[in-house]
Chain A
């Protein structure tokens, strides 16, 4: 399901399946997209933040056009305990690789991989500098 902001329109609640993973896309060229994501995060139930949320930062290929500071992104990932992925949608190879990563994460979040749960993501994210 694609949406431009949260909350989701309520008229389709009954048609919607269970949500296993929420990927927030932030365009590094647009401050507006970061603001939009921050506003939408407030509408997400706390239980999602146990591994079922990730941040996808796009447009990282063009270093000259960054409008968002890296610190803001790292902080977002830390505050919400969720992984931050970087990609460049305009390059097919990276696009495909990112899609495969997301798909793998989705399989784990949906419980399709025995022995691995979404809770593992937070431990995998721990920065060695933090300890």
Chain B
């Protein structure tokens, strides 16, 4: 077995949390059950991965099989990567049946015709998701298995989720191959990025709990009843204001859990508005500024801002439109017209 393959398998196994190694190897299916029995999964990870490599040598693993293990790992832990969302579209209403073999063949052919040194692997999952792993090389070097791109394509939708590696120069080629293989006409990058692949899918497939305009009959006014607080000596003066905030929040965010995003970025190209006497900028140029919000769970924290008393309700629509518009990167320009303001450009 090739040295590089052995090292790659060893490093992949080391990434897996110790308790999950056995299950993942079983999913991989490359080592037989009897072989797996011979491994002690309670020793330190270095030793476990060493044992796995020895067994892989017995079975003469090659890079294709090792790549499958990598896909399985990334499918279980997709949140370690950053995913961008792309949307493909086609003009015309041809509804062709999706043929998986045809897709794979066209994809491989397109990539290989431009770049000989690539490793391409496919794996299908239940929810019509096709996972594609691509290891990139150059015309002169072998594919670098540690610099991989991942593509998740749901064949019944025009959406593709891409976790590109550092080699951004290969993106146009990848996009081209996708379009050709799936019989679409073009592809564009949506301004939506995040770590949680499932949340990006939720946003784009509209699977999160959206707020629909329902009629909420106002509850009867209650006086001097403190349902939550145990101490009746504490009197909340702003009960109606608190209820208004809850109601507005619920209308904007809905009831269910929010999709998980880590950033929202706003690129401002607006004029600096200040006291005319201050005259900060002589030239009337747009003031370039980047505002970035980051959080372990951005939408949930936005949802809790007003109830926590840290912001007014309702929040700015620039923040609350994120799931509906399916984007978290915005460019804000000056609105040209009678009323100076700002508008969000596509």
What is the interface of chain A, defined by CB distance below 8 A to chain B?
1-5, 8-9, 12, 30, 32-33
Q: Does B317 contact A (CB under 8 A)?
A: no
B236 interface hit (Cβ, 8 Å): yes
- For the complex with contacts A4-B309, A32-B310, 8 further pairs of A-B residues with Cβ separation under 8 Å are A1-B235, A1-B236, A2-B236, A3-B236, A3-B238, A5-B238, A30-B310, A32-B311
Contact between A1 and B237, CB atoms less than 8 A apart: yes
Q: Say yes or no: B240 contacts A9, CB within 8 Å.
A: yes
Contact between A9 and B237, CB atoms less than 8 A apart: yes
Give Cα A79 to B342, complex, Å.
38
A4 to B237 alpha-carbon distance, docked (Å): 8
- Chain A positions within 8 Å of B310 at CB level: 30, 32-33
User: Cβ of A3: which chain B residues have Cβ within 8 Å of it?
Assistant: 236-238
Contact A2 B309 (CB under 8 A): no
CB within 8 Å of A: which of B241-287? Answer: 241-242
Number of B positions contacting A (CB below 8 A): 11
* Among B234, B235, B237, B309, residue most surrounded by chain A Cβ atoms (within 10 Å): B237
Q: Which residues of chain B are within 8 angstroms of A8 by Cβ–Cβ distance? A: 237
B238 contact from A9, A30, A32, A33, Cβ within 8 A: A9
Q: Is A4's CB under 8 angstroms from B238's CB? A: yes
Q: 5 closest Cβ contacts across the A-B interface?
A: A3-B237, A1-B235, A4-B238, A3-B238, A8-B237
A12 to B235, CA, bound (A): 11
Q: Which residues of A contact B241 (CB under 8 A)?
A: 4, 9
The residue of chain B having its C-beta at the shortest distance from the C-beta of A1 within the complex is: B235
9 contacts between A and B (CB under 8 A): A2-B234, A2-B237, A3-B238, A4-B238, A4-B241, A8-B237, A9-B241, A32-B309, A33-B309
User: Within 8 Å CB of A9, what residues of B?
Assistant: 237-238, 240-241
Closest to B245 in A: A4
**In the complex, what distance in Å separates the CA atom of A46 from the CA atom of B338?**
44
Q: How far is the CA of A2 from the CA of B234 in the complex (A)?
A: 7
Q: Measured between alpha carbons, how far is A5 from B242 in the docked complex, in Å?
A: 11
Main secondary structure of the interface of B (DSSP, over half): loop
Residues of A within 8 A of B235 (CB): 1-2
- What 0/1 pattern do residues 299 to 319 of B give for CB contact below 8 A with A? 000000000011100000000
User: Which listed residue, B234, B237, B309, B311, touches A12 by the CB 8 Å rule?
Assistant: B237
Nearest chain B residue, comparing its CB with the CB of A15: B224
CA distance A1 to B240 in the complex (A): 15
**B238 proximity list for chain A (CB < 8 A):** 3-5, 9
Residue of B nearest to A7 (CB): B237
Residues of B within 8 A of A1 (CB): 234-237
Provide the bound-state CA to CA distance between A1 and B235, in Å.
5
CA distance A8 to B309 in the complex (A): 17
List the B residue with the shortest CB-CB distance to A4.
B238
A6, closest chain B residue (CB): B237
- 1/0 per position for B203-240, CB-CB distance to A under 8 A? 00000000000000000000000000000001111101
A9's closest neighbor in chain B, by CB?
Answer: B237
Q: Return chain B residues, CB-CB under 8 Å to A4.
A: 238, 241-242, 309
Least distance between B334 CB and chain A CB atoms (Å): 27
Rounded to whole angstroms, the CA-CA distance of A5 and B237 in the bound complex is 9
State how many angstroms separate the Cβ of B249 from the closest Cβ of chain A.
15
In the bound complex, CA of A27 to CA of B236 (Å): 19
Tell me, in angstroms, the Cα distance from A30 to B309 when the chains sit together.
Answer: 10
- B242's nearest neighbour on chain A, judged by CB, is A4
Residues of B within 8 A of A33 (CB): 309-310
B316 to chain A, nearest CB (A): 14
What chain A residues lie within 8 Å of B309 (beta carbons)? 4, 32-33
Which chain B residues numbered 28 to 74 have a C-beta less than 8 Å away from chain A?
none
Chain B residues near A32 (CB, 8 Å)?
Answer: 309-311
Complex-state Cα separation, A8 to B238, whole angstroms: 8
- Measured CB to CB, the closest approach of chain B to A71, in angstroms, equals 21
List, in ascending order, chain A residues with CB within 8 A of B242's CB. Answer: 4
> Across the two chains, which residue of chain A brings its CB closest to B305?
A32
The CA of A30 and the CA of B310, in the complex, are separated in Å by 7
Measured CA separation A36–B326 after assembly (Å): 33
CA distance A1 to B234 in the complex (A): 6
Contacts of B234 in A (CB 8 A): 1-2
Q: Closest A-chain residue to B308, C-beta based?
A: A30
